[in-house]
Structure 1
Amino acid sequence: MRAHSRWILVLALGTALLAGGLTLAVTTNTFEGVPHLEDEYAYLWEAQVMARGEIKVPSPSYPRCFLVPFVVDYNGFRFGKYPPGWPAALSLALRLGSLTTLNVFLAMACTWLTFRLVSKITTPIEGLLAALLTATSPFFLMNAGSLLSHTFSFFLTLTFVSAWLDATVPSSRSAILTVPLAGLSLGLLALTRPLTALGIAVPFIAHGLWLLIRGKGVLRRRVLIIGATAGGIASLLFLWQYALTGNPWLNPYTLWWPYDRVGFGPGIGLHPDGHQIYYAWVNTKFSLRAGSSDLFGWGRLSWLFMPIGAFALRKNRSAWLLIALGISLILAYGFYWIGAWVLGPRYYYEGMIGATLLTSAGITALAGKLPSLLQPLRTRVLGYLRFSTVTALVMGLILANLWFYLPQRLGQLHGLYGASRSQLAPFESPSAQALTPALVIVHIRESWREYGTLLTLSSPFMDSPFLFTISRGEETDNALAHEFSARKIWHYYPDAPYAFYTAPRPSDFP
């Protein structure tokens, strides 16, 4: 291996470590390792159940008192609405005692895989640039620092694409590994984010069909094996739904919101006339506009180098598979009635590889190669000037993101929706532990998250030192106190966080 290649590998490894360090900082400082979005509460609840080897639990006698967002009660059982992929991964992290660091390792893996994949398609320099753009992206870091599923699905996406590109080279010596790996990763992606998996699969289905028609026999066999493996694993989603609901075709999403379905027409989404193409167009435009600044933290300049990159890669078929992946993902989520923008357009997160590929290719094409010493002086001067100008511009943009945009954007997310680790402090002191086992009846004052954040200390199996319930009135509270008579009963008010009352405050119930 040549010296400069070794240095590129070292720098790529350092970039992956940078991604891990920044993700850890976001996890601990911005999000504090606690859920903020409803999805995170549900993922964590499902992971806690799976960590005990179960997929559902009996419904509590008063389900509304033990509310967990996106966790439904159906036919006497309680379970999360989400597919099993990410909760299963989180459950393993829970068993290892490393819940908040799982996405840190996934962020490092995604950054490294970005380097390897882009290097394979273009050059190691462009791979290193793509990795650096990923590691410093506010969009990437905001989602990686959360408890959401996107970083895991991004990891599966990159694994699938890399394995596919290797497996579809006739002379590949690693096909015995990459063929099953491609099918496995795509199948697991379908068990994690089904619509995302569909959006990502479409360009590769088209490529696979072309290989089935025009490819060599060995490639046809590999494509069929990948498809069969992915399809077989993805079909387990129906087994999952059957195990939860008794009906393989019943989507648990619709048990929380009946209108929470994919497609167009009446009864889908919140609009009176249902989800329509016009609303999909509005959602897409808004999501892309909201995410343009978050992509690299360059404001409206995040797309600056992409047209140049598209021109530079115009003859690179593998590159266009990755670019088509992002486009397909955007189109797929046009069929979903709601967009996402709090953490950027996170439904498009797994398509980020296309943006970093285009940008890194655009930067290297614009910078050009350093001129040889054998070239005329004027050519060398112009070449050095071109290279140094583009390099200075790119480094200036990256540093401006790290110094200005990223801290400001992360600052906006600290304490998002009022959720904070400080809410747990009253229950983590030795004096509070002496009050257990306890049923804590939370009297909400402003937001359900005053109760929701405390759920990180509570078990779905009702056997943790603290159990938390929402006060639903004196009669219901008394019924719960009787049901859990083996526990101490405390009434808790978020406006007096270190006070535990044996009865409701006088002003609460007439």
Structure 2
Amino acid sequence: MLSVPIRIFMPLDDTMRDLNFCDMTPDKTPSTSNGCSGQSKPTFMATNKKFLFSLVLFLEALVIAFALMERFPPSGDDYSYLYQAKLFASGELYAQDALYDGANPLHNCVGTSCIADNHGRRFSKYPPGWPAFLALGALTGTPWLIDPILGAILVFLILRYVGQRMGENLVNVAGTLLILCLFVCYYTASLRAHIACALFVFAAFLAYDASQQRPQCSRLLLFGAGALLGYSSMIRYLDWIPLAAWIGVVLARRKMFTQLTFFAIGFGLLATGNLLYDTLLSGHPLETPTALNHSPGIHDRLMVSWTGLQLTGVRLVNLLWVFPPALLLVVLWKRYQPSSKVNMYLALFLMNVGIYAFYPAGAGGPGPRYLLAYFPFLILAVVDVRRWINHDCGAGPRRLWTLAIILQIVASVSFVTKESYASYWRRDLQ
């Protein structure tokens, strides 16, 4: 075996190396054909790098939570989740008090429409999974800490997967994309459920992926994948569907019905928590808190409509605004030939987009936040584009990558500026 010297780089140095010259050969061994020496990095150094990127995102989220939001719920969704978390922390499912006075100017900012009032029982209109997590922070007086911790864990899992399945030299690319995307950091700093749901969905994907690598443990791993997706349904009602459908179809096509049964049992055990919660609130297992909220018009309803298709287009445009590197998948599509694994990433993400085409209206508008649960898969697809650019070594794609990174920085500054203005405006009415 060819022995090569071990050289230790700081993560930013590695990132610049990856962004410019070094490439990977198909067997994931660093190539020396372009003058870059191969690197055989100790496992602990690779792990430390992943921890470092996770720590950076964690600190970014805390800066946003303290400096931008000042630990004030920036939306009605945040307020609703925090309200329910405080109820859970006090051992209650609901409160029995009046809604805020609609004449109060704060009413329009905290969005009391996100809190249901059903026969004198007041509670959040959202499922209980995320408030249950947030209740841990409410008990300790640190609800602002829960999402950043989960976000850091999510980043570590993404980078670990990239290192194992795509190559350690691409960890810097994935980590840089994540910490430069302040859209992700902003929701990691919030009190909303999107990052927690993304964590559970991605963890379920990792369990499914591991089941493909370890057939002897496939039943247990698929049971775990089902349980993780089941709990994700208690965080957000719809986001479990794409991955569950994908896993179910794959197992059925392979006639792995025993494994499919274990997956379904794991999902059912956790997902039925929604039915129990609904029964305790309303006395009917299929009457959700969202239904009890009686939102006007088409809000909080699933339907087929032209409006849903239009809003899906708006969501995708907004997604490109907050994450411009995704444009590379479109611009380079004819030259870039994705592997079956990358096609799976894109299929899962697009299935998530398709699911929300049936959700034509929400109180917060058609933001790209609805797509956050499968955003890690979009990151993985873009990272693979970078791998292809490294291998291609063409000047044109490399310039496009550099432009995409510059646009990402500009987009992040624009996004944070916009959210800062909105946050300060809301606090002026506090």
1:155 to 180, 184, 199: 199
Deviation at 1:83, TM superposition (A): 0.2
1:438 paired residue number = none
1:292 paired residue number = 320
**Alpha-carbon distance between aligned partners in 1 of 2:362 and 2:300, rounded to the nearest angstrom:** 13
Greater share of residues in helix:
2
**Alpha-carbon distance between aligned partners in 1 of 2:189 and 2:81, rounded to the nearest angstrom:** 15
1:303 paired residue number = 327
1:368 paired residue number = 391
Cα gap change, 1:100/1:195 in structure 2, threshold over 3 Å: closer, same or farther? same
**Alpha-carbon distance between aligned partners in 2 of 1:61 and 1:282, rounded to the nearest angstrom:** 34
Preserved CA contact (<8 Å) 2:207 2:224: yes
1:164 paired residue number = 208
**Alpha-carbon distance between aligned partners in 2 of 1:312 and 1:392, rounded to the nearest angstrom:** 15
2:309 to 277, 281, 291: 281
Cα gap change, 1:102/1:61 in structure 2, threshold over 3 Å: closer, same or farther? closer
Residue 263 (1) aligns with residue 302 (2): yes
Cα gap change, 1:124/1:178 in structure 2, threshold over 3 Å: closer, same or farther? farther
Residue 129 (1) aligns with residue 173 (2): yes
* Structure 2 unmatched runs, 5+: 1-5, 7-38
Deviation at 1:419, TM superposition (A): 4.9
**Alpha-carbon distance between aligned partners in 2 of 1:306 and 1:93, rounded to the nearest angstrom:** 41
2:265 paired residue number = 228
More contact order relative to length (CA 8 Å, sep ≥ 6): 2
Q: What aligned pairs does 1:71-470 form with structure 2 within 5 A after superposition? A: 71-171=115-215, 175=218, 178-211=221-254, 213=255, 215=256, 220-256=257-293, 257=295, 259=297, 260-264=299-303, 276-295=304-323, 298=324, 302-305=326-329, 308=332, 314-316=338-340, 318-338=341-361, 344-368=367-391, 386=394, 394=401, 397-398=404-405, 401-402=408-409, 404-416=410-422, 418-419=424-425, 450=429, 453=430
1:22 paired residue number = 60
Deviation at 1:126, TM superposition (A): 3.1
- SS of alignment partner, residue 116 of structure 2: strand
- SS of alignment partner, residue 383 of structure 2: helix
Deviation at 1:24, TM superposition (A): 1.6
Deviation at 1:84, TM superposition (A): 0.2
Cα gap change, 1:60/1:285 in structure 2, threshold over 3 Å: closer, same or farther? closer
Residue type of the alignment partner of 2:302:
G
What percent identity do the matched residue pairs reach? 19
**Alpha-carbon distance between aligned partners in 2 of 1:261 and 1:359, rounded to the nearest angstrom:** 32
2:81 to 10, 24, 43: 43
* Structure 1 unmatched runs, 5+: 265-275, 370-382, 424-449, 454-510
Q: Deviations over 1:108-161 (max 9, x none)?
A: 111111112233443233344223212221321222122111010011111010
Q: Deviations over 1:442-483 (max 9, x none)?
A: xxxxxxxx3xx5xxxxxxxxxxxxxxxxxxxxxxxxxxxxxx
- SS of alignment partner, residue 58 of structure 1: coil
Residue type of the alignment partner of 2:411:
Y
Preserved CA contact (<8 Å) 1:15 1:135: yes
**Alpha-carbon distance between aligned partners in 1 of 2:156 and 2:186, rounded to the nearest angstrom:** 18
With structure 1 as the length reference, what TM-score do the two structures score? 0.68
Deviation at 1:306, TM superposition (A): 5.6
Cα gap change, 1:157/1:62 in structure 2, threshold over 3 Å: closer, same or farther? closer
**Alpha-carbon distance between aligned partners in 2 of 1:92 and 1:73, rounded to the nearest angstrom:** 24
1:503 paired residue number = none
User: How many pairs are equivalent?
Assistant: 384
RMSD of Structure 2 on Structure 1 (CA): 3.1
- SS of alignment partner, residue 235 of structure 1: helix
**Alpha-carbon distance between aligned partners in 2 of 1:288 and 1:62, rounded to the nearest angstrom:** 35
**Alpha-carbon distance between aligned partners in 1 of 2:135 and 2:78, rounded to the nearest angstrom:** 13
Question: Bigger radius of gyration, 1 or 2?
Answer: 1
